[in-house]
Amino acid sequence: MNKQEFTYLLSNPGNITGHQTGAVNTIIEAYPYFQSARALYLKGLKNQESFKYNQELKKTAAYTADRSILFDFITSEVFIQNEISQVIKQNDEYLKTIDVSMEDISVNKRVTIDDRLKQQITDTTGVLDPTLFEPKEERIKKVVPFTLDTSDAFEEVTTDKIETKDMSPSDILKLGKPLEFDKRESHSFTEWLKLTRFHPIKRGRPGGRTARTVPAAAPSTSPRTR
């Protein structure tokens, strides 16, 4: 990868390809503190939905001086633009599968003056009715007794239950998929980085004995015997 290609990807990170992502990784191995290259490499892994993304995000946070800048980058519109375009493409494919039926609304019959006059006479027939303005008799409302039978239990069926039946556990938990963060979840991002740190495991000595620290002997204040 030359300088011109790398500069173009910095201005247009959404256009990075899989081959270019590998080339950027080579640059990171040579210059581990090159933060722009690490951010671009994250974008490439994000576009591929690679399982390496979450681990690389922790590495990038370790090499970044200001993690708030990193958080603003991964939650920016430029970073998630690839996901938005994927949703638009899926919606376009769905619209292509919808069956649309068209009704023939073409008028072959020519409306004449006689037809219009007949229609007007039909519309004004009700006005000439002498009983039109007389008060109508009040109708007696009939009340039908109704009792709810509570012997049968009702089970609320939600859409989530129906949808998850056809999904595997790995799809539900989104195992191996890049984690999603929102701009309002800066605290969650910081906590996630803390929880994913590696700590050494403290093990006891064989036989159930643990290491014990022996305090150093205090210097003697008594005079030396010559």
- Please provide the average confidence, as pLDDT, over all residues in the chain: 66
| pTM of the predicted model as reported, rounded to 2 decimal places | 0.41
- pLDDT, tens only, 138-181: 555 666 666 656 665 555 555 555 455 566 666 655 656 666 66
Residue 32: pLDDT above 70? yes
- Tokens 């399982």 — which residue? 51
Q: What is the 3-state secondary structure (H, E, C) of 93-106?
A: HHHHCCCCCCCCCC
List the chain domain ranges. 3-94
Q: How many helices (DSSP H) and strands (DSSP E) are in the chain?
A: 10, 0
Contact in structure between 45 and 21 (CB atoms under 8 Å): yes
Question: What percent of the chain shows pLDDT beyond 90?
Answer: 0
Residue 84 pLDDT level (bands cut at 50, 70, 90): very low
Over residues 10-18, the mean pLDDT reads 81
CB 193 within 8 A of CB 74: no
The listed range with the strongest mean pLDDT (134-138, 161-165, 218-222) is 134-138
